[in-house]
């Protein structure tokens, strides 16, 4: 079975600022962009995204766009979602429906998201983002701001906020 390092090499993945590794696999540059309140965007973008046993957490962040997540290979990935109304939702993206794992997870824009490798060596997924991903549409979670937004979930917020804060270098 391929290991985390095999996937990093085969897919030329690079460290992501959220944690884990990624590479963009598609952007809809064959059609006109669409207007969003924050500017023009591709209609759709997609990435491969990998969590590994040495980089197992996708830290808290918020996107404006809707994102579909698809599990491809390896171990399950647990998602924590915090909705604007304060509701906490979890889902496990993986290959075993007998354990309640799902192959696909939709996260609407405006929902805070953190993810972590549930067990094992690695989990490989894809994300399809519409309107297309732009860094200007992403906010990385700052512990104090997020705990103020979600006072009932302080431990969960702090557990998956990036050590050193969002301004720390990726890697």
Residues that bind ligand GUN (CB under 6 A): 22, 24, 45, 47, 127, 129, 133
State in angstroms the smallest separation of the CB of 152 from ligand GUN: 27
**Closer of 122 and 147 to ligand GUN (Cβ):** 122
Q: Which residue is nearest to ligand GUN (CB)?
A: 133
Q: Cβ of residue 134: shortest distance to ligand GUN, in angstroms?
A: 8
Give the nearer residue to ligand GUN in terms of CB position, either 75 or 127.
127
Residue 131: cis peptide before it, omega within 30 degrees of 0: yes
- State whether the Cα torsion 126-129-133-139 is positive or negative: negative
Taking the complex as a whole, the smallest distance from the CB of residue 154 to ligand GUN amounts, in Å, to 26
CB closer to ligand GUN, 22 vs 60: 22
Cα separation, 44 vs 58, in Å, equals: 21
Indicate the residue among 60 and 133 with the shorter CB distance to ligand GUN.
133
Token digits of residue 49: 């995204």
State the nearest-atom distance from the C-beta of 153 to ligand GUN, in Å: 23
Query: Taking the complex as a whole, how short is the minimal distance between the CB of residue 107 and ligand GUN, in angstroms?
Result: 11
Of the pair 22, 150, the CB lying nearest ligand GUN is at: 22
């Amino acid at each position: 079975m391929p290991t985390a390092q095999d996937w990093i090499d085969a897919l030329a993945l690079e460290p992501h600022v959220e944690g884990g590794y990624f590479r963009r696999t598609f952007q809809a540059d064959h059609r006109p962009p669409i207007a969003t309140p924050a500017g023009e965007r591709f209609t759709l973008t997609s990435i491969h995204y990998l969590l590994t046993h040495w980089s197992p957490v996708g830290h808290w962040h918020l996107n404006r766009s809707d994102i579909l997540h698809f599990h491809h290979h390896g171990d399950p990935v647990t998602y924590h979602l915090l909705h604007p109304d304060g509701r906490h939702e979890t889902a496990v993206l993986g290959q075993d429906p007998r354990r309640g794992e799902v192959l696909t997870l939709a996260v609407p824009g405006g929902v805070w998201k953190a993810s972590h490798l549930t067990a094992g060596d690695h989990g490989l997924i894809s994300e399809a983002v519409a309107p297309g991903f732009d860094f200007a549409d992403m906010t990385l979670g700052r512990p104090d701001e997020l705990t103020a937004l979600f006072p009932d979930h302080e431990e969960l917020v702090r557990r998956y906020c990036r050590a050193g804060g969002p301004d720390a270098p990726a890697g």
